[in-house]
Amino acid sequence: MDAATRTIVDNRELDRLDLRMSEDQCRVLAEAAAASGMSLGAFVLSHAADAARDLLADRSNIALSPERWANFVALLEGPARPDATDFVAAGFELAR
């Protein structure tokens, strides 16, 4: 387990991340950060976190039984309702 993962598991904050990069990579990142009005660290962290969220979202999936899938599709294709009573009645839990 690497230090970043261990830090997350132990619920401690990670203070620093050191990166090795080529001179060209550093130059490009520094130019992009300056163009964005951000520090190099803020730019890299912001874009790395966005990329990580996108990657994780792409790997998320929802598994439903054929019966629950049919119920879900029927609810989506039915008339619009201002509340979620149909979803609850069909056995779907609402996020709190």
* Structural domain boundaries, residue 46: 3-58
Q: Assess whether 7 and 52 both reside in one domain.
A: yes
Would you tell me the crossing angle of helices 40-58 and 23-36 to the nearest 10 degrees? 90
Q: Assess whether 8 and 52 both reside in one domain.
A: yes
Q: Count of domains in the chain?
A: 2
For residue range 21-61, what is the model confidence (pLDDT) as tens digits? 999 999 999 999 999 999 999 999 999 999 999 888 878 77
Question: Does the structure show a pLDDT above 80 at 88?
Answer: no
Q: Assess whether 35 and 18 both reside in one domain.
A: yes
Q: Assess whether 54 and 78 both reside in one domain.
A: no
pTM reported for the whole predicted model: 0.50
Secondary structure (DSSP) of 53-78: HHHHHHT------HHHHHHHHHHHHS
Q: Assess whether 46 and 79 both reside in one domain.
A: no
